Amino acid sequence: MKKVLLYLISILVLNACSDEIPEYHESARAKRVVLAYMAANSPFDNIDACIMKNLQWMYESLSTAKDTCTLMVYYKPSNKNQYIKTAEILEFQTDGYGKINGQEILQGSSLTIENVIAQAKHHQAQLGIATNSDIMKENLRIMQDIAPAESYGLILGSHATGWLPSTNAQYSRSFGIDGDTSNAINIPELATTLEQSFPSGNLEFTLFDACMMGTAEVFYELRNATHYCVASVMETPIAGFPYDRFFINLYEDVIDYAKICSETAQFNKENNWWGTYAAVDCTAMGEVAQAIQAELLSHQSELQTLDYTQVQQYGYGEYRYFSFDVVDFISQLNGGVVSANVQSSINKAVIAKDCLDGEEYPLGTLKIAPERFCGMGMYFPGRNISYTWDRYCQSSIAWYNAAGWDKIQP
């Protein structure tokens, strides 16, 4: 009897140690989790409906996963949202075998925003202004506690106006909007918030689904907060990024950033919109700053007479001249020549880019020349473009000193 019992135990132990894949596999700590922080509470337009659609696209792409993948979404809705009435954290986890949150994936006519929200696991979010630094940090902490990972990707979706201060004018809002334009977060504060939220430095990328974030001022500010950053230097179409075309690729060990840029540009082209997109290695921005500083210091006299209206710029309407193409600026400053140091530093920092030809796809009167698009813009302080912008850039934006603007004699 004892021999029979030992034999049975041996069989059970061998089966338990077999290489068969279980029906559901999940590790305590994922390799990467994607977080989305969506501040959709705008009283001015229908961005909430558009961000809801973005969430559906994320789900659609996530449903193709062949392994366990987790998406955590902080969502702050407007009062017009039919499906979410207050700020919540939504969790979506694939099992790699056709289920999300233990349910069959939604597809066909069942793939609706209503059903996507219903299938989510709902968690209590920290209530308060979505763009308040303490509120952001607490909600990012909650999401990381629910879904621990070796690395994270972060999508920030809302309105934005790049590095410009949220209080400089009625419609300037830096990143985010929650109820009115004063409820925003300036870029230096956002950088500190992200550094404190990911103290181990494991924020692999930040994707700005928001306007005008693709500037040297933003990338440099985030150099200690995130490795890569995906953004547009222009105002962006309100529909946002076409996540259904690339979202699942954000879980790969090596992300194809060129695909993100090209797919988004193609999506805009199909809808007869405009667009510039780039992915930047923020950790390389120190070298960019050094190269720019050397050029500025060696061309101080030319700076005073440079006709900046002839440089490729990316602002439209009231934001005209908020940002100039970095390489085109240096080229025109240097008589049509770009120094090897500047070009080399840009080549290292801008790892992918794509844009639509402004002659065919303009934003109003703003036309982008693809051959003059290097992937990022920068402001030209000290030329009276805007006294408020000059003062804020000088007092608050780290790029100002890093790029040598503080050393330029008036």
Same structural domain, 53 and 68:
yes
Cα→Cα distances 39→91, 124, 183, 320, Å: 17, 16, 10, 25
Same structural domain, 237 and 377:
no
Same structural domain, 340 and 197:
no
At residue 173, the pLDDT reads 59
6 assigned to some structural domain? no
* pTM (predicted TM-score): 0.91
Same structural domain, 217 and 336:
no
Residue 178 structure tokens: 């929650």
12 assigned to some structural domain? no
Cα→Cα distances 230→41, 142, 205, Å: 23, 24, 8
Same structural domain, 63 and 104:
yes
Q: Please give the distance of CA 273 from its chain centroid, rounded to a whole number.
A: 20
The residue type of 382 is G
Cα–Cα distance, 360 to 27 (Å, whole number): 49
Residue 153 forms beta bridges with which residues?
A: 34, 205
Consecutive 10-residue averages of pLDDT for the chain (410 residues): 44 39 48 97 88 98 96 96 96 95 97 98 96 96 98 96 71 70 84 97 98 98 98 97 98 97 98 98 98 96 95 96 98 94 98 98 98 98 94 96 90
Same structural domain, 371 and 276:
no
Residues 6+ apart with CB under 8 A from 97: 23, 24
At residue 165, the pLDDT reads 83
Same structural domain, 242 and 123:
yes
What is the domain range of residue 190?
A: 30-284
At residue 20, the pLDDT reads 36
DSSP letter, residue 370: G
Residue 312 structure tokens: 């490729």
268 assigned to some structural domain? yes
At residue 176, the pLDDT reads 82
Q: Is the sign of the CA dihedral 24, 29, 34, 39 positive or negative?
A: positive
375 assigned to some structural domain? yes
Same structural domain, 269 and 167:
yes
At residue 287, the pLDDT reads 98
Cα–Cα distance, 248 to 277 (Å, whole number): 19
Tally the domains of the chain.
2
8 assigned to some structural domain? no
Q: Please give the distance of CA 383 from its chain centroid, rounded to a whole number.
A: 30
Q: Please give the distance of CA 42 from its chain centroid, rounded to a whole number.
A: 19
At residue 149, the pLDDT reads 98
Same structural domain, 271 and 290:
no
At residue 11, the pLDDT reads 40
387 assigned to some structural domain? yes
Same structural domain, 124 and 42:
yes
5 assigned to some structural domain? no
Q: Examine the fold and report which residue of 251, 267, 284 is the final residue of a domain before the chain moves on.
A: 284
Same structural domain, 374 and 240:
no
Cα–Cα distance, 232 to 366 (Å, whole number): 14
At residue 184, the pLDDT reads 84
- DSSP assignment of 206-238 equals EEEESTT--BHHHHHHTTTT-SEEEE-SS---T
Cα→Cα distances 146→30, 33, 196, 197, 350, Å: 11, 10, 18, 14, 33
Cα→Cα distances 90→87, 116, 119, 308, 400, Å: 10, 10, 9, 46, 39
Q: Examine the fold and report which residue of 269, 284, 299 is the final residue of a domain before the chain moves on.
A: 284
Residue 37 forms beta bridges with which residues?
A: 74, 156
DSSP letter, residue 187: H
Q: Examine the fold and report which residue of 263, 284, 305 is the final residue of a domain before the chain moves on.
A: 284
Cα–Cα distance, 266 to 197 (Å, whole number): 34
Residues 6+ apart with CB under 8 A from 249: 255, 256, 259, 260
DSSP letter, residue 7: H
Q: Per 3-state DSSP, what percentage of the chain is helix, strand, and coil (rounded to 5)?
A: 40, 20, 40
Same structural domain, 145 and 253:
yes
Phi, psi dihedral angles at 343 (to 5 degrees): -65, -40
Residue 194, domain CATH: 3.40.50.11970
C-alpha angle 213/157/169, rounded to 5°? 55
Nearest to 81 by CA among 40, 121, 120: 40
Residue 344 structure tokens: 């080399």
257, burial (CB in 10 Å: exposed 0-12, middle 13-18, buried 19+): buried
4 assigned to some structural domain? no
Cα–Cα distance, 17 to 96 (Å, whole number): 21
